[in-house]
A and B are shown apart, each in its own frame.
Chain A
Amino acid sequence: MQQKTTAFIVIILLMGFGFLAGSFAGGLFGQLGVPANHKALVDHMQIIDTAINFKLTPKLVDSGTRTWGEGFPLSTIFTVGEKYPQSTWIWQRYGDTEVTMTIWGPDESGKILSVEIARLGGNPFVVKIKGVTKLTMDQVTSSPAIGYYSLEVTVD
Chain B
Amino acid sequence: MVQKTMTYIVLILLLGGGFLLGSFFGSAIIGSYAAPTGHKALIDRMTITDTRINFKFTPKLADSGSRKWGQGFSMIIHFTKDKEYQQSTWIWQRYGDTEVAMTIWGPDDSGERYYVEASMLGGGPFEVKIDGVTKLTMYMEVLAPGYYSGCYDFDVEV
B72–A98 CB distance below 8 A: yes
B119 to chain A, nearest CB (A): 4
Q: By the criterion CB–CB under 8 Å, are B149 and A147 in contact?
A: yes
From A104, which residue of chain B is reached at the shortest CB distance? B97
Q: Within B71-104, which residues are at the interface with A (CB < 8 Å)?
A: 71-76, 78, 87, 89, 91, 93-99, 101-103
Q: Which residue in B73, B89, B115 is a CB contact (below 8 Å) of A152?
A: B115
Question: How many cross-chain pairs have Cβ atoms below 8 Å apart between A and B?
Answer: 273
Verify if A9 is at the interface (C-beta below 8 Å from B): no
A112 B158 Cβ-Cβ under 8 A: yes
**B97 touching A67 by the CB < 8 A rule?**
yes
Chain B residues engaging chain A, CB cutoff 8 angstroms:
11, 14-24, 26-27, 29-30, 38, 42, 50, 52, 60, 62-63, 65, 67-68, 71-76, 78, 87, 89, 91, 93-99, 101-103, 107, 112-124, 128, 130, 135-136, 138, 140, 143, 146-158
A interface residues with partner B (beta carbon < 8 Å): 11, 14-27, 29-30, 37, 40-41, 49, 51, 59, 61-62, 64, 66-67, 70-75, 77, 86, 88, 90, 92-98, 100-102, 106, 111-123, 129, 134-135, 137, 139-140, 143-144, 146-155
Distance (whole angstroms) from the CB of A51 to the closest CB of chain B: 7
A52 to chain B, nearest CB (A): 8
Please list the 7 inter-chain residue pairs (A to B) with the smallest Cβ-Cβ separation, ordered nearest first.
A72-B123, A18-B18, A22-B22, A23-B26, A122-B73, A100-B101, A118-B119
Which of the listed residues B23, B128, B136 has the most CB atoms from chain A within 10 Å of its own CB?
A: B23
**A73–B123 contact, CB under 8 A?**
yes
> How many angstroms between the C-alpha atoms of A146 and B152 in the bound complex?
9
Taken together as a complex, chains A and B put the C-alpha atoms of A77 and B42 apart, in Å, by 37
State whether A23 and B27 are in contact (beta carbons under 8 Å apart), knowing that A17-B15, A102-B98, A112-B155 are contacts in the complex: yes
Contact: A19 with B26, CB < 8 Å?
yes
